[in-house]
Amino acid sequence: MPILNKQSLGRYLQSRFGPETRLLSYKVIGKASSQGEQKRYGYGTPVKLTFRLEGRLQSAVLETMRPGPFGHEHMADRAQAILWDYDSYGRLPRHVKTLDVGAFDGKQALFSVAEAREFFVLNEWAEGASYHLDLERLAKGGALRALDRSRTIALAQYLAQIHGTKRRDSDLYKRRLRELIGHGECIMGLTDSYPKQYGFITEDLLRRVQGRSAFPSSRGFPPIQRIVPRGDGFFRVGPVPRGMGRACRRRDRNDDQLSPCLADSMGQAQRSVRELVQIILGDLYRSQR
């Protein structure tokens, strides 16, 4: 729950609009004015700010978003929605204009992020090589090595470990099911990324995958009792067949046909990847027992 006080609000307004800005009052909309030095507000409670800017009386509404079951469970969800509001309101006719977009830090200070155009994350460095290189080697017809199996086992055990941490949250569980089907990085997004014809991957096959995903069998979904709270719980690579036989593809530009070289490499890659997938699914299945 954010703690708003006159000092932090005043400092924020001055940093955004200039040092001469003066906060006069702040209050929950529809309630009596808050003249005290400090007031707690729940997320999602709109607060009206009245301040003096360049000699003129101004009013604005400070809005936050309450965590909830409509795709707002995580801080990143709420940030996405608020950033979209800031980006879109000014382009809608007759809509109120946004003056700023910002955030609270760990000490409840407010700061602006209005100048941001794209976001980044800075991670610590770890030695190693991306495992997509192993998949690309297999896609080009490389032999399945003992090291490939051991690496796959390590990845599968890691997935099993994070999937082993569960808690009851029916709303978040249902959201995870929706995202598994419709998210741009899950079933619908990945199947939509394929060309019309790519070897054994046909439009009919992709339609059947999408249909079976959106309309499950009569057995339905698993009971609403388990979720993975540590993130999405999968390793990010593009659909493996998209990268298969890349060198051969350059020599055969026909998007509706596979070159013989590509077809051969796909056959070998399918066999190799199938074995690796069986390892992963086996570990995940055992973790759910």
Query: Per the domain annotation, does 122 fall within a domain?
Result: no
Q: Do 20 and 57 belong to one domain?
A: yes
Q: Helix or strand or coil: residue 283?
A: helix
Dmax (CA) of the chain: 78
Query: Per the domain annotation, does 205 fall within a domain?
Result: yes
Higher pLDDT, 122 or 259: 122
The reported pLDDT for the residue numbered 35 is 53
Q: Do 26 and 152 belong to one domain?
A: no
Q: Do 107 and 210 belong to one domain?
A: no
Residue 278: pLDDT band (50, 70, 90) is low
Q: Do 138 and 274 belong to one domain?
A: yes
Query: Per the domain annotation, does 221 fall within a domain?
Result: yes
Query: How many domains would you assign to the chain?
Result: 2
Q: Helix or strand or coil: residue 194?
A: coil
The reported pLDDT for the residue numbered 227 is 44
Query: Per the domain annotation, does 123 fall within a domain?
Result: no
Q: Do 79 and 158 belong to one domain?
A: no
Structural tokens at position 134: 């192993």
Query: Per the domain annotation, does 121 fall within a domain?
Result: no
pLDDT single digits (tens) 127-181: 888 888 888 898 888 998 999 888 888 888 888 888 787 778 888 888 888 888 8
Q: Do 106 and 197 belong to one domain?
A: no
73: containing domain = 3-112
Q: Do 147 and 106 belong to one domain?
A: no
pTM of the model as a whole: 0.62
Sorted by sequence, the CB contacts under 8 Å of residue 200 that are 6+ apart come out as: 266
The Cα 237–Cα 135 span in angstroms is 9
Share of the chain above pLDDT 70, in %: 69
State CA 271 to chain mean position distance: 31
Query: Per the domain annotation, does 117 fall within a domain?
Result: no
The reported pLDDT for the residue numbered 66 is 86
Q: Which amino acid is at 109?
A: A
pLDDT tops 60 at residue 120: yes
Q: Do 106 and 140 belong to one domain?
A: no
